[in-house]
A and B are shown apart, each in its own frame.
Chain A
C-alpha cells in the first residue's frame, strides 16, 4: 500500500512538473511572440496566445496580465472608438480576473492604472476628470504595496506630464524625478523571470520634454 501511495505521489508530482514545464514553455514562447509584436494583428495574435494559456492555467496571473497588456496596446493602436473601448473591456476583465485570484498585487494595480489612462485618452474632454482620478487611485494602491514598483512610478510621472501638457504648464519640472527613476530603474526592476519588466524605454521617451540629460551623466 505504501508503495502504491509513494508511486502515486511520485506520479502526481511528475505530472505537476510536466504541467509546470509545459506552462513555462508556453509562456516563454508567448513572451517572445509578445516581444516581436508590432502591428495590431500581431498583438491580437499574442493576446490569443496568452488567452489560450490562461484558459488552461487559470490560477496563474501572468498570462492574464500580458493578455490585458496586449489589449491596452491595441486600444492605443486602433482608430475606431468603439473598438478602443471594446479592447479595454477585455483588458479590464482580465485584470479583474487576477484581482479575484489575489487582490494585493502591485503590478496589476499599475496595469489597471494604465488601462484607465487608455479610457481617458479616448475622450479627455469628457472623461478626463473621472479617469485621471481612477488612474491615480490605482497607482496609489500599487505603490502602497510596493513603493518602488518602477512601472507604477513611471505611470505616475507619465500621468503628471500628460496633465501638465493638458494644462499647458511646464513639463520640465518633472525631469529630476524622471532622471532619478531612470538611474534607479535597474535596482527597482529586479523581478523574477517572466514577470513584468517593461517601462524603461517608455520612461526614456518622457525625457524628450527635458532640456538635456547630460547634467545627470556629468554628476555620475
Chain B
C-alpha cells in the first residue's frame, strides 16, 4: 500500500518533462484575435494570444485535459485534449457572442430615457433642468418631436392625437388618472415627480402589443430600485414646501413624504389674468416601499393621497356677461404595487396591480358636477428567453373602470347621477427575434374584450429594424390600436364601439458619440370615431374618421460645446377629422402644423451653476369662429415662449433653483370661448382662453441631509 502511494507521489511530482501547447485564435472570418485567454482547465498554465492571434505555453503533465479559451465579446470555447508530450498545435475559431447592447434597436416611434434604454434621449435630471418644464414629466416630453404644446390642456398631444389618446403606465401597470385636476381650459400637470423614475419611455406610435387603450401614444415609467442612503430632504419654494425621508435596511427601503402648496402669496405679488376667489392650494402625502425578495425579485408599493382646490370668477357664456364663480376641488388616492423576478434563468415574471379613486367636484354658481372615478388594474406578464436572440412575451390583464357623473343644482330638487362600469380583459403575445445583430423583428398580437361595449378586438403589431452601419439604422412600425371612447362620451351609451387608429411609421436614426439624429415620417388613419350632431336628439354613432401625417426631426449634440448640450426638435403635422360635433371634415383645433423646440443647457463650474434656456414655437392653430360660416377656419396667433432656469449649488447638499417661463412676456392665446347666444346686434361675443399669467416665476431651495452630507437634491428640483 505504502509503495503504491509513494509511487503515485513520485509519479505526480516527477512528471517534469515539458511540452508546448501552441496555436492560433481567429474569429469565423479568419481575423486573428489578440488578447484571448487560453489555459488548461484546473491548472495555472496558459497564455494570452499575441498581436497575430498566436499563443504558446509550456505544460508539464500528461493525460486528458480541457483547453479553455475566453475572450471579451466571444463565446467561451472548450476543447478536450489528450496530452502525451505531443506538443499539440491548435487552430481555434471563436464564435462571436450576441451582444444586445451592440445589436440594432427599433427606434420608430420610440424615445427612451434612463439606464435600461439604449437610445438615451433624456434623463430625469435632464427633464427637470429643461427650462420651462417646471418639474413636469409631460412638459419635459413636449420638448421632444411628435408632440405639440396645447397650453389650455397640459396633456400630451402626440402625432395629431388628442391628450386623452395617451396612456400612462408605471412599472407596466395602468394609471387611470395621471394628471392633476384643473378648471376647464386651465393646464393640468403630471401627478408624478420625475425623480421617482429611473427610466422613461415615450412612444409616438407603433408601440408594443403589451399596451392597449391608447390611440396615439404610451408613456411608460419605471420606478427607482433601491435608494443608496438614508436621507432627509427639505424643499422650500415660493409656492410651498415638502419634506421627505428615506430609511433603508439591507434588503429594502421606505420613503415617506408630505407636501403643501399654496399659490396665494405668489399670485398676490404677480399680476394675474384670472380673478381668483381661491388661489390654487394643494396638500398630499406619499409613501413607497421596496423590498428585495427571493428569485432575484423586487417588490414595490407606492401609495399617495392628494387634495387640491381652486376657484375663480369667470365670465358667464350665456350672453349676460355676468361674472360667476367657477371652482374645482379634487381628491385622489392611488396605489401601485408590483413584483418582478426570474423564476429560472430563462423565465422572467411580473405581477402588479393598481387602484385609483379620484373625485373632481366642479362648481359654477349653483351648479355642482361631481365626477367620481374608481379604477383598478391587475396584470401578469412572463418573458421567456429561448436563446439570446429569440424572446417571447405574454401577459394577461384586467382593467376595471367605474365612472359617474353626479349633477345637482343647489337649492333645488335637481339631482341626477349617471354612471357606467367597464371590465376590460386583455391578453397579448409578442415575439422578438434577432436574425443577426443587424436585423430585428418584433411581432405581437393583442386581444381585448370589453364587457361594457360587449366587443372583442384583435390588434396586430409589427416592428422591425435594420442596422445600416455601426452608427445608423432604419426602422419601421405598424399596428392597429383600439381605445374606448372617453368616459364623458361612453357613459350611458354602451351601444358605441371602440375608436380605432392605424399607425405606419418609418424612422432613420444616426448616433455617434454624444450626437444623435433622428428623423421620422408617419401616417395615421383614424376610424370608428364617435360622432354626434348639435342637437341632443341626434344619435351618437361611430361614423367619425380622420387622419394625420407628418415629419419629426430631432438632433441632440452634447459634444460641440464644452460643458454644454442642446437639442432641436421640429415637427410638421397635417391632420384632419370629421368626428364629435364637426359638421364637416376639418383640421382639429388642437393640431399645431409646425412645432419647434430648442433646448440649451450649460454647466458653469466657476459659478457652481447649471443654467438653461429653451425656445418654443408653435405655428398658428385653427379655431372655430362662431360668427363665420366656415368651420374651424379662423387662425389663432402663433405661440412663442422663451424659458430660462438656473440651478446654483450653494453647498453640495444645498441647491437654489430659479426658473422663469415666457420671460419675454409674449401673449399666449389658446382659443376663444363664445357665448351660447348672439348679442343684440347678432354677434356672438367671445373671450380668449389664456393662461393664469403669461409668465411664471419660481424660486426654491432644496436641502438634503445625509450622514456624510455629500448628496444633493439636484434631482429634486420640481414643484
Residues on A facing B (Cβ under 8 Å)? 3-4, 7-8, 11, 14-15, 18, 22-23, 26, 41, 44-45, 48-49, 51-53, 55-56, 81-82, 86, 90, 125-126, 129-130, 132-134, 136-137, 140, 163, 165-169
List of B residues within 8 angstroms of A86 by Cβ: 72-73
A4 with B513: CB separation less than 8 A:
no
A136 with B35: CB separation less than 8 A:
no
B228 with A82: CB separation less than 8 A:
no
A166 with B101: CB separation less than 8 A:
no
A-B contact pairs, 7 of them (CB 8 A): A11-B5, A48-B35, A48-B36, A49-B48, A52-B37, A53-B44, A129-B712
List of A residues within 8 angstroms of B714 by Cβ: 129
List of A residues within 8 angstroms of B685 by Cβ: none
From B12, B37, B565, B606, A51 is in contact (CB under 8 Å) with B37
CB distance from A123 to the nearest CB of B (A): 9
Could you list 17 further interchain pairs (A-B, Cβ under 8 angstroms) beyond the known A15-B12, A22-B44, A48-B70? A26-B44, A41-B34, A41-B35, A49-B48, A55-B39, A56-B43, A86-B73, A129-B715, A133-B228, A133-B710, A133-B711, A140-B708, A166-B605, A167-B605, A167-B649, A168-B605, A169-B608
CB distance from B38 to the nearest CB of A (A): 8
B37 with A7: CB separation less than 8 A:
no
CB distance from B107 to the nearest CB of A (A): 18
A45 with B9: CB separation less than 8 A:
no
For residue A163, which residue of chain B has the nearest CB?
Answer: B652
Q: Contacts A11-B5, A53-B44, A163-B652 given: A44-B35 contact, CB under 8 Å?
A: yes
* B125 contacts A by Cβ under 8 Å: yes
Within 8 A of A (CB), among B1-31: 1-2, 5, 9, 12-13
A51 with B70: CB separation less than 8 A:
yes
CB distance from A99 to the nearest CB of B (A): 13
Q: Which of B70, B73, B228 is the most central at the interface, judged by chain A CB atoms within 10 Å of its CB?
A: B228
* B558 contacts A by Cβ under 8 Å: yes
Considering the complex of A and B, which 10 residue pairs feature the smallest CB-CB distances, nearest first? A168-B605, A48-B37, A45-B48, A26-B44, A44-B35, A168-B606, A52-B39, A48-B48, A133-B228, A52-B46
A82 with B9: CB separation less than 8 A:
no
* B538 contacts A by Cβ under 8 Å: no
* B42 contacts A by Cβ under 8 Å: yes
Within 8 A of A (CB), among B643-664: 649, 652
Docked CA distance A126–B2 (Å)? 68
Docked CA distance A48–B37 (Å)? 5
Q: Contacts A41-B34, A56-B43, A82-B101 given: A125-B565 contact, CB under 8 Å?
A: yes
What is the interface residue range for chain B against chain A? 35 or more
For residue A139, which residue of chain B has the nearest CB?
Answer: B708
From B44, B102, B649, B652, A52 is in contact (CB under 8 Å) with B44
Chain A interface SS verdict (over half): helix
* B581 contacts A by Cβ under 8 Å: no
CB distance from B26 to the nearest CB of A (A): 17
For residue A168, which residue of chain B has the nearest CB?
Answer: B605
A136 with B710: CB separation less than 8 A:
yes
Docked CA distance A133–B224 (Å)? 15
CB distance from B120 to the nearest CB of A (A): 8
Docked CA distance A166–B563 (Å)? 11
From A55, A90, A136, B708 is in contact (CB under 8 Å) with A136
A81 with B125: CB separation less than 8 A:
no
* B495 contacts A by Cβ under 8 Å: no
B125 with A82: CB separation less than 8 A:
no
List of B residues within 8 angstroms of A15 by Cβ: 12
B123 with A56: CB separation less than 8 A:
no
* B557 contacts A by Cβ under 8 Å: no
B5 with A8: CB separation less than 8 A:
yes
List of A residues within 8 angstroms of B37 by Cβ: 48, 51-52
Docked CA distance A133–B226 (Å)? 13
Within 8 A of A (CB), among B698-719: 708, 710-712, 714-715
For residue B46, which residue of chain A has the nearest CB?
Answer: A52
Q: Contacts A44-B35, A51-B37 given: A168-B558 contact, CB under 8 Å?
A: no
* B347 contacts A by Cβ under 8 Å: no
Q: Contacts A41-B34, A44-B35 given: A11-B9 contact, CB under 8 Å?
A: yes
For residue B73, which residue of chain A has the nearest CB?
Answer: A86
Docked CA distance A15–B51 (Å)? 37
Docked CA distance A31–B606 (Å)? 43
List of B residues within 8 angstroms of A126 by Cβ: 120, 123, 125-126
Q: Which of A22, A52, A136 is the most central at the interface, judged by chain B CB atoms within 10 Å of its CB?
A: A52
Docked CA distance A22–B606 (Å)? 55
List of A residues within 8 angstroms of B43 by Cβ: 56
CB distance from A23 to the nearest CB of B (A): 8
Docked CA distance A44–B125 (Å)? 35
For residue A4, which residue of chain B has the nearest CB?
Answer: B1
Docked CA distance A166–B36 (Å)? 38
Q: Contacts A129-B714, A163-B652 given: A82-B5 contact, CB under 8 Å?
A: no
CB distance from A37 to the nearest CB of B (A): 12
* B179 contacts A by Cβ under 8 Å: no
Docked CA distance A55–B46 (Å)? 12
List of B residues within 8 angstroms of A81 by Cβ: 513
B228 with A137: CB separation less than 8 A:
yes
List of B residues within 8 angstroms of A48 by Cβ: 35-37, 46-48, 70
CB distance from A110 to the nearest CB of B (A): 16
List of B residues within 8 angstroms of A3 by Cβ: 2
Docked CA distance A125–B39 (Å)? 41
Docked CA distance A7–B714 (Å)? 69
* B229 contacts A by Cβ under 8 Å: yes
From A23, A26, A56, A133, B229 is in contact (CB under 8 Å) with A133
List of A residues within 8 angstroms of B715 by Cβ: 129
* B603 contacts A by Cβ under 8 Å: yes
CB distance from B387 to the nearest CB of A (A): 21
Docked CA distance A130–B228 (Å)? 8
B5 with A7: CB separation less than 8 A:
yes
B34 with A56: CB separation less than 8 A:
no
For residue B101, which residue of chain A has the nearest CB?
Answer: A82
From B12, B228, B513, A134 is in contact (CB under 8 Å) with B228
For residue B44, which residue of chain A has the nearest CB?
Answer: A26
Docked CA distance A45–B70 (Å)? 12
